Structure 1
Amino acid sequence: MQKANLKLRLTVMNFLQFAVWGSYLISLGGYMMGTLGYSGLQVGAIYGTMGVASLFMPGVIGIIADKYVNAERLLAICHLLSAAFLIGVSQNADYALAYPLFLLVNIFYMPTIALTNTISYSLMSRNNMDIAATFPSIRVWGTVGFIAAMWLVGLCGWAQSAMQLYVSAGLGVALAVFALTLPPSPPNKQVGPERSLASVLGLDALVLFKNYNMSVFFIFSMLLGAALQVTNTFGTPFLDSFKPDYADSIAVKYPTILLSLSQISETLFILSIPFFLRRFGIKSVMLMSMLAWVLRFGLFGIGNPGDGFVFLILSMIVYGMAFDFFNVSGSMFVDKEVDPSMRGSAQGLFMMMTNGVGAILGGFGSGYIVDLYKNAETQAVDWSPVWFIFAGYALVIAILFAILFRYRGDVATKQL
């Protein structure tokens, strides 16, 4: 296969992969709170299903792809099942049914993120392509797909309806069909070291908690992970709350368009990480991420679609630093500090702490805070104190991290 053709096909795969997610991830909270009347705790719990699924399913599906089933076929199966459950959610407004259905959506969607990487790496390696030089230009189209889906839902007026779920399901089916046209990525038949599910999930890396810096790092990964999806969960309901006073504002008419600036910022900040790491070091870059979360939440607290619109824009801009600087630099810290024999397990533990345990705690915790400031009669939320509480939480994390994390970058973690 010609390399240019393969790169195009992998680009399409990544575009569709994240368009499936972008169709509803940012707007779902507004639909559930505004149209369906869910409480903040219920919405937080729905978003927390991503964390529950991330605890175990990527590892399970990874083992299946490694040993039993072609990765592209597994990708198709997972997307078809996820799409089916999305349609089920769209037809069931009752929270008691929506929660288990959305858990099933994420059980089959979350592993597909790793599967697309597996397929890309496998096909590029077999075609003698430089992965480090080529893959970033392919993966960035995933973010473009996420943004494009957000814009489609926002401009078509589907952010407050179940149509966003149908769009996502349709894109998932399209990706499933497309995946079956890709060159095969079969299981690795070569004999190698046996990896248990515990190893894939990162559980055998728990021994790293014996090291002070690693234990502090993983604990703060969990604490910061609780903040990662808060604005994705409640950003749209927050902007929807301005409808009575700012009905003609772009921020109110097209909240997903405004929020998409966060993803655009993400693509720009990720390119700046090498410079910041060289200039300031890993600890400072991770600390910058935490302080950026303070700004992200605080600027939401003082922003509005009128004279405070500039604060909303600034909040979107700092999101890229907040989200990427800890995720990327944290992954690099783990890679640098652990023994190569434990590298995969340590990365699995990092992902489990941030996107698993942290996301679950953040979903329930943020939903509880939102409900505390909801008027029982009008159902309106007083959003400013909500955002300031989240900002204060991020600030406390930043201060404690600066004090407790004693990494200087010149002392290697002891091999355990």
Structure 2
Amino acid sequence: MKATTRIQLSSMMFLEFFIWGAWFVTLGTFLAQHFSASGSQMGLAFETQSIGAIIAPFIIGLIADRYFSAQKILGFMHLTGAALLFFVATTNSFAAFYPLVLIYMLLYMPTLALVNTIAFKQLKDNPEKFAQIRVFGTVGWIIAGVLIGYFGWESSRQLQNTFLLASFASALLGVLSFFLPNTPPSAKQDGAGLRHMIGLDALGMLRDKTYLVFFITSVLICIPLAFYYQNTNLFLNDIGMAGAAATMSLGQVSEILFMLMLPLFLKRFGIKITLLIGILAWVIRYVLFAYGDTGDQIWMLFVGILLHGICYDFFFVTGQIYTEKKAGLKNKAAAQGLITLATYGVGMLIGFRLAGWITDTYTSAGSYQWEQIWLIPAGFAVVVLLLFIVLFREKQATASE
């Protein structure tokens, strides 16, 4: 790959995830500070991600993958998204905020697939080097959190600036997109591309009882996952942690480190043990959040944040690897589409709705009962863990099969 192309793709990934991390991490705190939003309203706002994830395959399958070059539709979506984020920053009520952020996420979520498509097109002879490009996305997410902490927007109640920051980055990526390597549409006009993209071609995998257990587990574990995205930044700010967004970026640093360790761990212990550790990490994380504080127990909060690498890599990345191995040659992409639709779409949609309801239940006069709020997803993750231990019986689910 030419150095120029590598820089273009790395910059694309950096900005793609910088945009998301610049406002999504602090969304719960923003809603509480600016709109005095209820837990249910927070759930509705975060659900826009899941709605976008459910709709995204249809947008890609019907439009981007059939009629337009990927880099052009990427540019259009990000330029439009930049305008929407600018207007989001000017809203003064949840009623005005919600439709704008919903439209934005309907545009943004498909771009996650588009940047992968563009990168893999250039890496067609060396797809295993995708991680070297994708890692810049994680770096972008980290830098976004560090900047929010540096400017002190959480403590100064100026989180509307996060949307302006994301708007600027979105406009920059929108312009950059038109200079990316050409990635023409590849799907045929017979509708097969759409079926493939949304994962319908991979439904036959669910006839395998073991994979069905994994699939259901993946959906269920996304329910406690939603609590992390929706409540963590609000929780850390509420209990008085300075620079909460910057502190949370340590989770992405952990993600990079454990991503490097994952191949060795899979080779040594196999898929099942790795998945079990990933689920267990969610239990431990939420228990630490329930009993941690910014005093003597602050170490619990830091450990809970640093567990993000295990929580995400050991379950979700391992799950993608397992899905890749179980899928037939023709269904590999469709299988990934199916698991993404089920987890980030259906699973997290349920999770955000439940997290909003639980937060409302354990909030009184603006005071959050965080111990109860965190122990509920911890308990749910324990149930998922036990079900997985009992029902998942893959005898040779190792990285070497």
What letter corresponds to residue 16 of structure 2 in structure 1?
Answer: Q
Q: Which residue of 1 is the match for residue 166 of structure 2?
A: 168
Q: Residue deviations 1:206-251, cap 9 Å, x none?
A: 33333311221211111111222322221111112223xxxxxxxx
Q: Residue deviations 1:321-361, cap 9 Å, x none?
A: 01111111111111212322222222211111110001100
Q: Distance in 2 between matches of 1:124 and 1:137?
A: 11
Q: Which residue of 1 is the match for residue 48 of structure 2?
A: 49
Structure 2 residue 223 is the aligned partner of structure 1 residue 226: yes
SS at match of 2:36: coil
Q: Which of 124, 130, 137 in structure 1 is aligned with 2:132?
A: 137
Structure 2 residue 18 is the aligned partner of structure 1 residue 14: no
Q: CA deviation at 1:79?
A: 0.7
Structure 2 residue runs of 5 or longer lacking an equivalent are: none
SS at match of 1:92: coil
Structure 2 residue 322 is the aligned partner of structure 1 residue 315: no
Q: Distance in 1 between matches of 2:253 and 2:227?
A: 18
SS at match of 1:305: coil
Q: Which of 296, 301, 317 in structure 1 is aligned with 2:290?
A: 301
Q: Residue deviations 1:128-167, cap 9 Å, x none?
A: 6x3313x322211111111111111221122332111111
SS at match of 2:24: coil
Q: Distance in 1 between matches of 2:380 and 2:386?
A: 10
Q: Which residue of 2 is the match for residue 217 of structure 1?
A: 214
Equivalent runs, 1:33-44 vs 2, <5 Å = 33-44=32-43
Structure 1 residue runs of 5 or longer lacking an equivalent are: 244-251, 412-416
Is the contact between residue 272 and residue 397 of structure 2 (CA under 8 Å) also seen in structure 1? no
Q: Which of 272, 278, 289 in structure 1 is aligned with 2:267?
A: 278
Q: Which residue of 2 is the match for residue 246 of structure 1?
A: none
Moved over 4 A (4+): 191-194
Aligned-pair identity (%): 35
Q: Which residue of 1 is the match for residue 381 of structure 2?
A: 394
Q: CA deviation at 1:57?
A: 1.3
Q: Which residue of 2 is the match for residue 152 of structure 1?
A: 147
Is the contact between residue 221 and residue 384 of structure 2 (CA under 8 Å) also seen in structure 1? yes
Structure 2 residue 358 is the aligned partner of structure 1 residue 360: no
TM-score by length of 2: 0.93
Q: CA deviation at 1:320?
A: 0.7
What letter corresponds to residue 169 of structure 2 in structure 1?
Answer: L
TM-score by length of 1: 0.90
CA RMSD of aligned residues (A): 1.9
Structure 2 residue 313 is the aligned partner of structure 1 residue 324: yes
What letter corresponds to residue 323 of structure 1 in structure 2?
Answer: Y
Q: Distance in 2 between matches of 1:42 and 1:119?
A: 35
Q: CA deviation at 1:194?
A: 5.4
What letter corresponds to residue 225 of structure 2 in structure 1?
Answer: L
Is the contact between residue 147 and residue 260 of structure 1 (CA under 8 Å) also seen in structure 2? yes
SS at match of 1:307: coil
What letter corresponds to residue 299 of structure 2 in structure 1?
Answer: V
Q: Distance in 2 between matches of 1:193 and 1:330?
A: 31
Is the contact between residue 225 and residue 353 of structure 1 (CA under 8 Å) also seen in structure 2? no
Is the contact between residue 252 and residue 309 of structure 2 (CA under 8 Å) also seen in structure 1? yes
Q: Which residue of 2 is the match for residue 414 of structure 1?
A: none
Q: Residue deviations 1:275-310, cap 9 Å, x none?
A: 111111111111111000001111111111110111
Equivalent runs, 1:58-77 vs 2, <5 Å = 58-77=57-76
Q: How many residues in Structure 1 have an aligned counterpart in Structure 2?
A: 395
Is the contact between residue 45 and residue 360 of structure 1 (CA under 8 Å) also seen in structure 2? no
Q: Which residue of 1 is the match for residue 103 of structure 2?
A: 104
